[in-house]
Amino acid sequence: MLDVSESQLSKYIIHYVADTLLTGEEVYPQPEMMLEAAFTQLAFHKIDFEQPYEFFHETDLGLNEIYTYVKSIFDQDDGFLEQSKNIATHLQSASQHPNIKGGELFIGLFENCMMPTGAKKVLAIVKIDEKELFLDVKNEENKLVVNGIDGINTKKINNMAVIVDMGADEAPIVFIKTKRKEDVVYWQERFLKIKVADEHYHKTNLALTECKKYILKEESYSNTEKLGLLNKTLDYFRNEEEFQVDNYIDTVFEKVDPAQKDIIVNTVKPYETVISETAIEKVEKTYKRKIKLDSNIEIQVNVQNIEQVDELIEIGYDEGTNRKFYKIYFQEEL
């Protein structure tokens, strides 16, 4: 949805957010190429651009602090410094918990970020609360000198927000990444105050994920049965317009006892929804396709039809060697 391969960092600033707030007083212009590449990686590393969020407020969207500050940055080119300080102050207020560490806050304005509707401005907000030790090796008068540098790993996951300017007549689109599940409350709910923009995508994603977890954890299923149930689950989501848990269970599982049914219902009932095809395309890539054996052999199965799995793979037990085996049927090698 968002392509930043040709983006340009037009300006940025760094604050320090902790119990005592230290705000930067200088807005830096577009940096040299290597530094810009590092900041770009810091701002967009592993952001999920398939899951958009939107700002909200219970009574008036204009009372959402980050929405107001960000809109001002997009609308007024000379307000970057003041509004970045407001963002840092609001983050400090939202971070009042002993488990939330202090750290650097990077705020950068990127130009020429591509959406299907054209080039957009993007504001990236990244909170960095951990540093790492890097080794700096230099050749000084034909002598190698090694120094330890306390620095920031631009590939490490941080709490991040990428906010896309959609123009004067549309609300900004927000993409996020949180470092830990525990950070969702303060970063997403208290600081940004955002909600999922596409509820059907979100719920379909969660339903598919939880169904997969249940199938893989259920010890009563063999590996081939698990592969078959995963394939049937994907087929169900591809063929149905709505996800309804009772219909899903009846369609996918031939036999399920009351205890198992209760587990499935309690887990995925909240995610009943109109099915999103985009979510299916994303999640199915994570579905299991391999049988891993203790002999360091993996069997990869790319079969959509569960009946074909049962026809092509047979599991057995050899009493002579006291070991299990798989028998695989095929017509010819490719």
pLDDT in tens, 271-325: 999 999 989 988 888 876 677 778 888 877 765 555 566 678 888 888 889 888 8
In this predicted model, what pLDDT tens digit does every residue of 107-122 receive, in sequence order? 999 999 999 889 999 9
112 backbone φψ class: left, alpha, beta (φ>0; ψ -120 to 50): left
Average confidence score pLDDT of the chain:
90
Distance CA 330, CA 11 (A): 60
- Give 146 or 69, the one with higher predicted confidence: 69
DSSP state, residue 306: H
**274 to 186, 203, 239, 309: CA distances (angstroms):** 29, 9, 12, 29
Domain chopping of the chain, boundaries: 8-197, 200-328
pLDDT at 303: 59
Residue-level pLDDT at 72? 95
Q: What is the pLDDT of residue 222?
A: 81
Q: For helices 199-217 and 258-268, what crossing angle results, to 10°?
A: 150
- Tell me the mean pLDDT in the region 85-97: 95
- Residue-wise pLDDT tens digits, 173-186: 999 999 988 899 99
Torsions phi, psi for 188 (to 5 deg): -85, -45
List pLDDT tens digits, range 150-172. Answer: 889 999 999 999 999 999 888 89
Segment 73-94 shows an average pLDDT of 94
**Residue predicted with more confidence, 307 or 95:** 95
Q: How far apart are CA 10 and CA 62, in angstroms?
A: 26
The span from the CA of 278 to the CA of 257, in Å, is: 32
For the chain, first and last CA: distance in Å? Answer: 37
pLDDT in tens, 217-236: 988 888 888 888 888 899 99
| Residues 245-268: tens digit of each pLDDT | 999 999 999 888 888 899 999 999
pTM score, two decimals?
0.75
